[in-house]
């Protein structure tokens, strides 16, 4: 039987067709709790599947190396204009292919080989591209790390950061995280950066949508010079990256040259069109409600685990994610917890925690959050049910507990189908 959704794939490539149908079913029938994942609207899907995938557009609007750029210039200009409005930026580069690409381009724009970056320790919530030794970046630049002073509250040791900054004189002080459940003291970061003559950069990849929706603070309001980000996650756009500059034209020009021709060739124009659509959606009043509900839902889940006596890094959450010590709380590793919950239709990820004694491929922690659930229309009562199902699986740990949870997951998924569009006028 010919598929309505994939009419050509059924005839051209049945193997890929079966994989796509399987993923559709997994997303439809399960619950997505990975904090860096979300669902895009049908409008974003349409832009991604558009004829712009055929077009080379090396360069920037008005300054391309190939002809036929009337419509590529139009969509990229729209994306730039909307991004600047969303984040209060003076300049925006929407061409990076991902968050890592954006960070790498930012480093090469601002640094010379051997220059120092002060960034967050990975096990304290940072990201691989913030200077973890496994990355090639550490062969070129000197990364020094800071972390939390108190793991139970999440307080960053700002005085130690200041001492280290005075000592190593970093060219960049980098804020931002991939597994940190609290807000940062942006004013402190900027104060220390100004004191040592560093550029203040914030990686907002995880919280971009929360910033755009006004649910958390905007680092630009505190004087940060640059923000890098992904365009998926809480921003609910296509997979991609972006670099925002607050006001310095000089920094923006350096970033543009670093992205192209420094590191990338022709931009993916279908993806940039999808970014423009997502930014348009994020500018609608309904997006503010969405962003605030993400945080309400995360806090509601955290309260359930707190009542259970589970250990959460920083003691809870102020944003969209929770980092839980599964080993201490439930007597199993993060890898075992992830596998058990996968069987129940609940998807999250194993994650290292600060001072973890276990290895990264089977760490002590699990990381989960509420962006995708909130997109499906979950509110506090719904996520409390999800948290309860998770606890049942992690405490029961047998086939019966998994089967019971799977029934509850399917019921919640049916009640909250994945929406095809998010703009409600």
Residue 145 has pLDDT above 70, yes or no: yes
Q: Are 327 and 354 in contact (CB under 8 A)?
A: no
Q: Are 109 and 258 in contact (CB under 8 A)?
A: yes
Q: What is the pLDDT of residue 124?
A: 84
Mean pLDDT, to the nearest integer, of 78-103? 98
Last residue of a domain, one of 248, 267, 282: 282
Q: What is the pLDDT of residue 425?
A: 32
Is 374 domain-assigned? Answer: yes
Is 364 domain-assigned? Answer: yes
Residue 194 lies in domain: 47-282
326 and 219 within one domain: no
In this structure, what token pair is assigned to residue 284?
A: 């609608």
Query: Residue 418 has what DSSP assignment?
Result: P
The string of pLDDT tens digits covering residues 99-109 is 999 999 999 99
Is 29 domain-assigned? Answer: no
**CA–CA dist 270, 55 (Å, integer):** 8
245 and 327 within one domain: no
The string of pLDDT tens digits covering residues 280-337 is 999 999 999 999 999 999 999 999 999 999 999 999 999 999 999 999 999 999 999 9
What is the DSSP track for 101-158? HHHHHHHHHH--TT-EEEEE-GGGT--GGGT-TTSGGGGTSEEEEE-EEETTTTEE-H
User: Which residues are within 8 A (CB) of 183 and not within 5 positions of it... i.e. 6 or more apart?
Assistant: 216, 217, 318, 319
Last residue of a domain, one of 236, 255, 282: 282
**CA–CA dist 343, 390 (Å, integer):** 11
User: Which residues are within 8 A (CB) of 241 and not within 5 positions of it... i.e. 6 or more apart?
Assistant: 96, 97, 98, 99, 100, 101, 102, 228, 229, 230, 231
Q: What is the pLDDT of residue 420?
A: 77
Q: What is the CATH number of the domain that holds 352?
A: 3.90.1150.10
253 and 332 within one domain: no
Q: What is the pLDDT of residue 344?
A: 98
Is 10 domain-assigned? Answer: no
**How, if at all, do strands 59-60 and 63-64 pair?**
antiparallel
177 and 106 within one domain: yes
What is the CB neighbour count within 10 angstroms for residue 251?
Answer: 21
Question: What is the SS3 assignment for 8?
Answer: coil
**CA–CA dist 197, 122 (Å, integer):** 25
Q: Are 261 and 287 in contact (CB under 8 A)?
A: no
Q: What is the pLDDT of residue 133?
A: 85
354 and 250 within one domain: no
Residue 18 has pLDDT above 70, yes or no: yes
Is 232 domain-assigned? Answer: yes
Q: What is the pLDDT of residue 424?
A: 40
User: Which residues are within 8 A (CB) of 14 and not within 5 positions of it... i.e. 6 or more apart?
Assistant: none
At 2, is the pLDDT very low, low, confident or very high (cuts 50, 70, 90)? low
At 129, is the pLDDT very low, low, confident or very high (cuts 50, 70, 90)? confident
Is 371 domain-assigned? Answer: yes
Placement of tokens 């220390």 in the chain: 192
Long-range contacts at 54-59 (CB < 8 A, ≥ 24 apart): 55/269, 56/266, 57/266, 57/267, 57/269, 58/260, 58/261, 58/265, 58/266, 58/267, 59/260
The string of pLDDT tens digits covering residues 336-365 is 999 999 999 999 999 999 989 999 899 999
Last residue of a domain, one of 252, 282, 312: 282
**How, if at all, do strands 155-156 and 226-230 pair?**
unpaired
Q: What is the pLDDT of residue 255?
A: 98
Is 338 domain-assigned? Answer: yes
Residue 174 has pLDDT above 90, yes or no: yes
263 and 334 within one domain: no
342 and 228 within one domain: no
Active-site positions read 56, 58, 203, 230, 233, 239
Q: What is the CATH number of the domain that holds 226?
A: 3.40.640.10
Q: b/e map of 90-104 (b: 16 or more CB within 10 Å)? A: ebbbbbbbbbbbbbb
In this structure, what token pair is assigned to residue 270?
A: 């279908």
Taking all residues of the chain, what is their mean pLDDT, rounded to a whole number?
A: 95
The string of pLDDT tens digits covering residues 239-260 is 999 999 999 999 999 999 999 9
Q: What distance separates the 2 farthest-apart alpha carbons in the chain?
A: 68
306 and 227 within one domain: no
Strand partners, 92: 244
Q: What is the pLDDT of residue 150?
A: 87
Residue 233 has pLDDT above 70, yes or no: yes
233 and 328 within one domain: no
Is 24 domain-assigned? Answer: no
In this structure, what token pair is assigned to residue 173?
A: 């002080």
217 and 169 within one domain: yes
Query: How many structural domains comprise the chain?
Result: 2
Q: What is the pLDDT of residue 383?
A: 98
Q: What is the pLDDT of residue 272?
A: 98
For the chain, the distance separating the N- and C-terminal CA atoms, rounded to the nearest angstrom, is 38
Mean pLDDT, to the nearest integer, of 167-185? 95
Residue 35 has pLDDT above 70, yes or no: yes
User: How remote is the C-alpha of 360 from its chain's centroid?
Assistant: 20
**CA–CA dist 209, 242 (Å, integer):** 13
154 and 67 within one domain: yes
Give the percent of the chain with pLDDT over 90. 91
Name the burial class of residue 292, with classes exposed (0-12), middle (13-18) and buried (19+) by CB atoms within 10 angstroms of its CB: middle
Count the helix, strand and coil residues of the chain and give each as a percent rounded to the nearest 5. Answer: 50, 15, 35
Q: What is the pLDDT of residue 422?
A: 64
Closest CA to 317 of 177, 145, 419: 177
The least confident of 9-18, 131-140, 306-315, 317-326 is: 131-140
Strand partners, 229: 242
pLDDT higher for 206 or 1? 206
Q: What is the pLDDT of residue 423?
A: 52
Residue 122 has pLDDT above 50, yes or no: yes
Placement of tokens 């998807």 in the chain: 347
Residue 165 has pLDDT above 60, yes or no: yes
Q: Is the peptide bond before 261 cis (omega within 30 degrees of 0)?
A: yes
When computed from its CA atoms, the radius of gyration of the chain, rounded to whole angstroms, is: 22
The string of pLDDT tens digits covering residues 375-412 is 999 999 999 999 999 999 999 999 999 999 999 999 99
359 and 272 within one domain: no
In this structure, what token pair is assigned to residue 393?
A: 């699986």
Q: What is the pLDDT of residue 123?
A: 85
């Amino acid at each position: 039987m010919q598929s309505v959704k994939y009419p050509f794939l059924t005839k051209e490539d049945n193997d890929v067709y079966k994989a796509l149908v399987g993923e559709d079913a997994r997303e439809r029938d399960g619950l997505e709790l990975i904090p860096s994942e979300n669902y895009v609207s049908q409008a974003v899907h349409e832009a991604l599947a558009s004829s712009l995938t055929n077009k080379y557009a090396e360069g920037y609007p008005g300054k391309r190396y190939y002809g036929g750029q009337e419509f590529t210039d139009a969509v990229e200009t729209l994306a730039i204009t909307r991004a600047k409005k969303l984040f209060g930026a003076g300049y925006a580069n929407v061409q990076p292919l991902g968050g890592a690409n954006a960070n790498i381009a930012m480093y090469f724009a601002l640094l010379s080989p051997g220059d120092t970056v002060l960034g967050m320790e990975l096990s304290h919530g940072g990201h691989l591209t913030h200077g973890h030794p496994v990355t090639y970046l550490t062969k070129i630049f000197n990364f020094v790390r800071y972390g939390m002073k108190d793991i139970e509250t999440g307080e960053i040791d700002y005085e130690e950061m200041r001492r280290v900054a005075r000592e190593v004189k970093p060219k960049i002080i980098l804020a931002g995280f991939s597994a940190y459940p609290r807000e940062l003291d942006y004013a402190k970061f900027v104060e220390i950066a100004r004191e040592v003559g560093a550029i203040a950069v914030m990686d907002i990849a995880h919280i971009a949508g929360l910033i755009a929706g006004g649910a958390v603070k905007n680092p630009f309001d505190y004087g940060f010079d640059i923000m890098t980000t992904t365009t998926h996650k809480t921003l609910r756009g296509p997979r991609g990256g972006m670099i925002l500059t607050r006001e310095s034209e000089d920094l923006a020009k350096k970033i543009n040259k670093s992205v192209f021709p420094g590191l990338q060739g022709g931009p993916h124009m279908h993806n940039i069109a999808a970014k423009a659509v997502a930014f348009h959606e994020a500018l609608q009043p309904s997006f503010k409600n969405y962003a605030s509900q993400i945080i309400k839902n995360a806090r509601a889940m955290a309260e359930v685990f707190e009542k259970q006596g589970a250990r959460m890094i920083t003691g809870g959450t102020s944003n969209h994610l929770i980092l839980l010590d599964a080993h201490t709380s439930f007597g199993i590793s993060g890898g075992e917890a992830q596998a058990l919950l996968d069987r129940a239709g609940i998807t999250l990820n194993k994650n290292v925690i600060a001072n973890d004694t276990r290895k990264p491929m089977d760490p002590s922690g699990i990381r989960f959050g509420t962006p995708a659930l909130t997109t499906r229309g979950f509110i506090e009562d719904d996520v409390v049910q999800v948290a309860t199902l998770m606890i049942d699986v992690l405490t029961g740990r047998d086939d019966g507990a998994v089967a019971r949870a799977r029934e509850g997951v399917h019921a919640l998924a049916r009640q909250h189908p994945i929406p095809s569009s998010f703009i409600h006028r």
